[in-house]
Amino acid sequence: MLLKLFTMQWQVVTRMQSQAGSRPFFARCKGHQGKNCFEVRRGHVGVVSAFIAHGPSDEGSNYNALRWAARQGHRNLVAQILANWPDLISRKPSHVLSEAAQNNQVEIVTQLLAMSPVLLLLDPNAIHDAARGGYDEVLNVMLSCNPQSSASPLSENVRTALLAAATGGHESTVAMLLSKEPKLIHVVAALHCTKKVSIAKQLLDHKPELIDVVGPQGWTALHSAALHGSIEIIDFLLERRPGLSDVVDVDHQNALHLAARHLHEEVFFKLLAQNPRSIDVATLEHKNILHCAVQAGEPQILDAILELRPEFACGVDEFGNTALHWLFQGWGRHHQLDESHWEKLWQLNPSALQ
C-alpha cells in the first residue's frame, strides 16, 4: 500500500515537472529556496537524495540545500550535491563554509576545505564565525589551511578572529589566536571590546604595552571598559595603571564622562572615588559632567554631582545651554528623572530659562 502511494505521488510530481518547463516544480513549491532546501531543513535527507538522483532542480535550490546540509552536518548529502554540481562550491557570494563553521560542524569544514581551500577567501567570515562561537577545533582546521586568515578583515572594520573571540569571551580561542602573533592593532581592538577580565589579562600579559595605547578617538582601554560598564576590568586596569583615569580623548572626555553618559552607576562611583579631580574636566564642547548626567538621565549620578559640585548647574556649554536646558529638551525621555531634579536645578540656577 505504501509503495503504491509513493508511486502515485512520484507520478504526480513528474507530471508537474514536465508541465513546468524551464522552471522546476521543486523551485516553485517552497519559494525561492526550493523543495530540496525545504526537505533538508526538515531532516529528510533521503528524500532529497532521491530528488537529486531522479529529478531536475535549479541552481538556487541546490545551493540552498547545500548550505542547510553543511549547517546540519550531513556529510554524505554535501558530497552528493557537490558531485552533481561541483561549481556550487565556488559560487559567489559563498556562505557554505560559514554555515558549517557557525554550527561547529568540524567534519563538514574539513570536507569543504579539502575540496577547495580557496573557500577561506570566498567566505572570509567563516573564521570569524568559528572564533565568535569559541569552536577551537573548527578554527584550528581553518588556520592549518591558511594561517594568515586570522588577520583577514571583516567588512570595513578591523574585526579579526581575535576580536570575535574576545567579544565572545572564549579564553582558549583567544590563546590559540595569540599564538599566531597577530598585529598589534588587532590585539588593541580585542582589548577594547572584551567584557571579561580574564581575557583582558590574557591580552595584557601577551602585550603589556597595550595598556598605554590609545585608539583613533583617543580612547584607552579604560574608556572602553567605562563604556561597557565592566567594573572588573576597571578595577584591573586601575590597579595596573592608576593614571588612566586622567586620560582624555579627542573630545576631551575621560572615562568618568562615558560612565555618566551610559548610565553605569557603579563604574561612575568607582572612578570618582579613585580620582576625585576627574569630575572637574569639561569636554571640548564645554560640557561639564552635569550636562552628561542630565542627558543620560541617571538620578543617582545626577544627585551625587549636584552634592559635590552644585555650581555646575550654572555652567554653560558652547551653545549657551545649562544642565536645565538639556533636562528640558530631554523631558519625557528620561523616565528616571522626576520633578525634584527639575526643582533642584531651578533653585541652583533660577535665571537659566530667562
Euclidean distance between CA atoms 232 and 18, whole angstroms: 67
Residue of 93, 71, 167, 180 whose CA lies nearest to 128: 167
Residue predicted with more confidence, 265 or 83:
265
Euclidean distance between CA atoms 290 and 271, whole angstroms: 16
pLDDT, residue 279, reads 96
Q: How far is CA 313 from CA 26, 54, 130, 227, 292, in A?
A: 69, 79, 51, 25, 12
Euclidean distance between CA atoms 298 and 260, whole angstroms: 8
Q: How far apart are the first and last CA of the chain?
A: 90
pLDDT, residue 36, reads 57
| Mean pLDDT score, 36-46 | 58
Strand partners, 154: 157
Taking only the tens place, the pLDDT of each residue in 308-340 is 999 999 999 999 999 888 887 765 465 577 778
Euclidean distance between CA atoms 42 and 36, whole angstroms: 10
Taking only the tens place, the pLDDT of each residue in 127-141 is 889 999 999 999 999
Q: Which string of b and e fits 164-175 if b means at least 16 CB within 10 Å?
A: bbbbbebeebbe
pLDDT, residue 30, reads 43
Using the structure block, give the residue that is written with the C-alpha cell 532546501: 37
269 Cβ contact partners less than 8 Å away, ≥ 6 residues apart: 304
10-19, 181-190, 267-276, 298-307: which has the minimum mean pLDDT?
10-19
- Domains annotated on the chain, with CATH: 120-146+159-206 (1.25.40), 225-354 (1.25.40.20)
Round the average pLDDT of the chain to a whole number and report it: 81
| Mean pLDDT score, 263-277 | 95
Rg, Å, the chain Cα set: 29
51-65, 116-130, 241-255, 277-291: which has the minimum mean pLDDT?
51-65
118-122, 145-149, 301-305: which has the minimum mean pLDDT?
145-149
pLDDT, residue 33, reads 45
C-alpha cell at 304: 551625587
Is the pLDDT at 6 greater than 60? The verdict is no
Taking only the tens place, the pLDDT of each residue in 105-129 is 999 999 999 988 888 878 888 888 9
pLDDT, residue 183, reads 82
Q: How far is CA 36 from CA 42, 58, 144, in A?
A: 10, 10, 33
Contact 246, 275 (CB under 8 A): yes
CB-neighbour burial class of residue 351 (10 A; exposed 0-12, middle 13-18, buried 19+): exposed
| Mean pLDDT score, 26-51 | 53
Element (H, E) at 341: helix 339-348
Is the pLDDT at 53 greater than 90? The verdict is no
pLDDT, residue 32, reads 40
Contact 14, 30 (CB under 8 A): no
pLDDT, residue 150, reads 55
How many C-beta atoms surround the C-beta of residue 143 within 10 A?
21
